Amino acid sequence: MTESLHRLDALDLAHRMADGMLRAEALAEALIDRSAALEPGLRAWAWFDAAAARRRARGPLAGLPLAVKDNIDTAGIPTAYGSPIYADHVPAVDAACVALARAAGAWVLGKTACTEFANMTPCATRNPWHLAHTPGGSSSGSAAAVSAGLVPLALGTQTAGSVIRPAAFCGIVGYKPSRGRLPRAGVKANADTLDEVGVMARSVADVAWLADVLAGRPQPAAPAAQRPNVALTLTSRAHALSAEMVGAAEAAARRLAAAGAAVAPAGPTDSFEALFDAQRTVQLFETARALAPEWQYRRRALSAGLRRLLAEGHAIRAEAYAAALQTITAANAALDTLFGPADVLLTPAAPGAAPASLKTTGDPLFNRPWQLLGCPCLTLPGGLDTNGLPLGLQLVARPGNDRLLFAAATWAEGVLQSPDISHARCR
């Protein structure tokens, strides 16, 4: 039993503990041992606490370990925001999402490594599928820890593609909510218009469960599967996709249709073309201001890459920022044209599999428009490329339709689930 606990989903573990079939201490010991074995190569943890299992509360998440991204405050636990500037920083209080998870009985096994201030400069974490490849970012450690079976549940954050992309690269399920659905208090700010807390796990049911707890809407059971109407779009940037990513998206559409879903091409995307560049403009402008203290007083301690991004953000004129925000209004007005009768869009989560580099976290291009619109997004494993690396599919719903997204994703997961992914993700 101990050797296979890392393969079990959070709901399964919770049921076993509730039924007395599994002791929380046994689960903690198994995951602590697994971390000790894999962490020297994986480097997913920024901070790790083997004693944390002794500090638990009652609730729906009782006994379940949680990994928390290092840009999310944790009371009494070092939180460095991925920067040496805050190497000795220990918050006095939890971020809201951590406090809610702890109140529901979860315990923090550790803080996961993230990119510098959750931007683009990579951290030390490696992809568990191949240690020479990036795990994605900025929620690098959270994705790697879940994928490698170090922990069943993890918190991340997303400003462009920082939950969806690493989840895709690591072959797990990642969820980014509609704007404001999960509380952000206590998370180091990057861009107020865009920042969201997200969830990672190994199944749709697990991410829906944890997200509902954090949203103050705990559900009595896993989301019921609902066969959706689906619109396929590779977007106007399809030229940036690998051939294998295109093949995975189109094959998924065929499998969903064969299982009974109504699948059709998405509507015209002309109104959405401006979102790709507008999202980046909004992010850079707001991040330059969110990190103004670090820029003003500790600039030399920032990486060269982040300094370049912040300088670019400071150079953006207010008129250009305002124009970028206006693209949201125009695109929202055309959402029904894009979706048509579809409940969800099926689209790539990333340009392809994880790049063979530790000097990049990959490109968030295929996450930018949905982030700016505030759409809920969820990534599902979409099979493996010829190098044996995961390819991620993305389901996107209209803003506010998170429960519909969970229902559609639960059904799609059952249709698309790949034995290769489920067996290899916890190597």
Q: Compute the distance between CA of residue 425 and CA of residue 427 in angstroms, rounded to an integer.
A: 6
Q: Compute the distance between CA of residue 412 and CA of residue 121 in angstroms, rounded to an integer.
A: 34
**Cβ neighbours around 262 below 10 Å, total:** 14
**Cβ neighbours around 243 below 10 Å, total:** 9
Nearest to 60 by CA among 1, 113, 14: 14
Cα dihedral sign for 216, 220, 221, 225? negative
**Catalytic positions, please?**
69, 138, 162
